[in-house]
A and B are shown apart, each in its own frame.
Chain A
Amino acid sequence: MAYGIKLKVWGEYACFTRPEMKVERVSYDVITPSAARGVLEAIYWKPEIRWVIDRIHVFKPIRFDNIRRNELGNKLSSANVKKAMKDGKSPVEIFIEDNRQQRAATVLRAVAYGIEAHFEIRKGENNTAKHVEMFSRRARRGQYFHHPYLGCREFPAHFELVEEDFTDKSAFEDEDERDLGWMLHDIDFNNNMEARFFRAVMRNGVIDVPPFGAEEVVA
Chain B
Amino acid sequence: MSAIQNRYEFVYFFDIENGNPNGDPDAGNMPRLDPETNLGLVTDVCLKRKVRNFVEIVKENQSPFEIYVREKAILNLTHERAHQAVGAGEKEEGKKRKGKGVEVEKARAWMCANFYDVRTFGAVMSTGVNCGQVRGPVQFTFGRSIDPIVPLEVSITRMAVATEKEAEAQSGDNRTMGRKHIVPYALYRAEGFISPHLAAQTGFSENDLELFWQALMNMFDHDHSAARGKMAARQLIVFKHDSALGNAPAHKLFDLVDAKLWDNTKPPRSFKDYGIIIGSAPDGVTIEEKI
Q: Is A51 an interface residue (CB 8 A)?
A: no
Q: Select one of B82, B126, B137, B142 contacting A78, CB under 8 A.
A: B126
Given contacts A68-B24, A76-B125, A89 and B83 within 8 Å (CB-CB): yes
Contact B139 A154 (CB under 8 A): yes
In this complex, how many residues of chain B approach chain A with their Cβ under 8 Å: the count is 62
Interface 9-mer from B69-77, B167-175, B261-269, B272-280: B69-77
A43 to B153, CA, bound (A): 46
A30 to B49, CA, bound (A): 31
Q: Chain B residue with minimal CB distance to A75?
A: B126
A69 to B26, CA, bound (A): 9
Contact B81 A91 (CB under 8 A): yes
A94 to B111, CA, bound (A): 13
Q: Select one of B85, B198, B248 contacting A88, CB under 8 A.
A: B85
Contact A146 B142 (CB under 8 A): no
A96 to B36, CA, bound (A): 31
Chain A residues with CB under 8 Å of B247's CB are 141, 143
Mark out the residues of chain A between 82 and 98 whose CB falls within 8 Å of any chain B CB in the assembled complex: 82, 84-85, 88-89, 91-97
Contact B83 A84 (CB under 8 A): yes
Chain B residues with CB under 8 Å of A12's CB are 141-142
Chain B residues with CB under 8 Å of A91's CB are 79, 81
- Convert B89-126 into 0s and 1s, putting 1 for each residue whose CB lies closer than 8 angstroms to a CB of A: 00000000000000110110011001100100001111
Interface 9-mer from A111-119, A155-163, A167-175: A155-163
Contact A75 B125 (CB under 8 A): yes
Chain A residues with CB under 8 Å of B115's CB are 92
Q: Chain B residue with minimal CB distance to A139?
A: B249
Q: Select one of A81, A94, A155 contacting B69, CB under 8 A.
A: A94
Chain A residues with CB under 8 Å of B114's CB are 92
Contact B250 A147 (CB under 8 A): yes
Given contacts A69-B43, A92-B114, 13 further A-B contacts (CB under 8 A): A70-B25, A89-B80, A92-B68, A92-B83, A93-B69, A95-B70, A96-B49, A142-B250, A145-B245, A149-B139, A153-B135, A153-B139, A156-B193
Q: Which of B's residues lie within 8 Å of A, judged by CB?
A: 24-26, 32, 34-36, 41, 43-45, 49, 66-72, 79-85, 103-104, 106-107, 110-111, 114-115, 118, 123-127, 130, 132, 135, 137, 139-142, 191, 193, 195, 197-198, 243, 245-252
What would 22 A/B residue contacts be, using CB atoms closer than 8 Å?
A: A67-B41, A67-B43, A75-B123, A76-B118, A76-B126, A78-B127, A89-B80, A91-B81, A93-B67, A93-B69, A102-B25, A142-B246, A142-B250, A146-B193, A147-B139, A147-B193, A153-B135, A154-B43, A154-B44, A154-B142, A156-B193, A158-B249
